[in-house]
């Protein structure tokens, strides 16, 4: 697989990474540990060297899983994780105090079975802690060798600028896909200006853009999507037009809808590295093959014309989670 550099930081990663959250958190029950380790190692064998986790995924178990899976080839991969919640629990609110960042980092190093965290993100901006203090704390951790690069997730343009002025930000992680293109307006131009890479999560629309979900789909009771307005039954039905358009185009390219969705993200900028997640090796292979799918200028115009008139139904987060975004 080809490599990409995340902005001007020099951090080079595989063009497509692996989001590990769904292996143990968010989309129903965790999969069998042996299967999860097998999938991560299969990704590595297929050329992936960029793996994304967080203390809040579980909490903690996702980092432990990733650390065990990559232990045999630790020095050949880039591991990213995140801090920012009280005790690692998303339900307990935000905590990006310097003390919590340092404690979380030390704990994550143990769970990941490593002596350094390659890319450490603030999971969500904490309005109670000045961004300068957050960036300064991570800068201290970088100086000590515990962290190599600093990232932000779902941060506003103002927060990105403030953090970057204290400690250069290597990557911003936020949602970006054919059905959530908001970052293109303000965030992508800012990242290009500052030389920051972009790591889109949910580039497949939390599974919706694959075509495997429709209005009749029943999610496990612990699946996060049950609370997402965009995934309410009536909205899934209305949003099927998105999948129909992608499927129609994919047939022209002898590709799958997922591959078209990922290829579209990849072609936007050379410093964009999507991190689709999956629990199945065949889906993993399908996703990674998107890197070889070429979209021409004419293709992109056709896609833009098809999607510009579509009004996506439903918010991408329930209100209490939306309040944490864009700070």
Nearest C-alpha neighbor of 125 from the set 147, 103, 152: 152
Q: Which of 27, 57, 149, 176 is catalytic?
A: 57
Cα distance between residue 101 and residue 93, in whole Å: 14
* Number of neighbours of residue 10 by Cβ within 10 angstroms: 9
Question: Which two tokens mark 164?
Answer: 């970057």
What distance, in Å, lies between the first and last C-alpha atoms of the chain? 35
Our measurement of the distance from residue 16's CA atom to the centroid of its chain's CA atoms, rounded to an integer in Å, reads 11
Rg, Å, the chain Cα set: 19
250, 244 Cβ separation under 8 angstroms:
no
Measured CA angle at 264 (ends 261, 269), to 5 deg: 140
User: Residue 46 half-sphere exposure, CB side, CA atoms within 13 Å?
Assistant: 21
1, 291 Cβ separation under 8 angstroms:
yes
What one-character-per-residue DSSP string does 133-150 give?
HHHHHHHHHHHTTSEEEE
Place of tokens 């990941």: 112
Mapping DSSP to helix (H, G, I), strand (E, B) and coil, where does residue 96 land? coil
Q: In the annotation, is 121 catalytic? A: no
CA distances from 266 to 7, 153, 277, 278, 321 (A): 14, 19, 16, 18, 27
CB neighbour list of residue 34: distance below 8 Å, 6 or more residues apart = none
Active centre residues (catalytic): 57
């Amino acid at each position: 697989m080809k490599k990409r550099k995340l902005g001007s930081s020099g951090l080079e990663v595989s063009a497509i990474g692996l989001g590990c959250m769904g292996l143990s958190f968010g989309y129903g029950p965790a999969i069998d540990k042996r299967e999860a380790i097998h999938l991560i190692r299969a990704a590595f064998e297929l050329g992936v060297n960029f793996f994304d986790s967080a203390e809040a995924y579980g909490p903690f178990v996702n980092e432990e899983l990733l650390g065990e899976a990559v232990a045999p080839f630790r020095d050949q991969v880039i591991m990213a994780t995140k801090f920012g919640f009280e005790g690692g629990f998303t339900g307990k609110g935000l905590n990006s105090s310097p003390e919590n960042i340092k404690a979380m980092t030390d704990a994550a190093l143990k769970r990941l079975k490593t002596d350094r965290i390659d890319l450490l993100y603030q999971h969500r901006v904490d309005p109670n802690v000045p961004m300068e203090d957050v960036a300064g704390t991570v800068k201290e951790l970088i100086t000590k060798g515990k962290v190599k690069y600093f990232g932000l997730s779902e941060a506003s343009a103002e927060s990105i600028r403030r953090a970057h002025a204290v400690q250069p930000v290597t990557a911003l992680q936020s949602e970006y896909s054919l059905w959530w293109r908001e970052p293109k307006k303000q965030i992508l131009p800012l990242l290009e200006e500052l030389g920051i890479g972009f790591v889109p999560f949910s580039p497949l629309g939390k599974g919706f853009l694959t075509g495997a979900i429709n209005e009749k789909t029943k999610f496990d009771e612990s699946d996060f999507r049950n609370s997402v307005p965009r995934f309410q039954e009536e909205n899934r039905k209305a949003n099927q037009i998105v999948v129909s358009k992608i499927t129609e185009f994919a047939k022209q390219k002898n590709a799958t809808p997922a591959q078209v969705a990922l290829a579209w993200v990849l072609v936007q900028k050379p410093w964009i590295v999507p991190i689709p997640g999956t629990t199945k090796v065949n889906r993993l292979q399908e996703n990674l093959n998107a890197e070889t799918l070429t979209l021409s200028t004419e293709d992109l115009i056709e896609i833009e014309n098809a999607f510009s008139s579509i009004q996506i139904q439903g918010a991408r987060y329930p209100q209490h989670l939306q309040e944490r975004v864009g700070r």
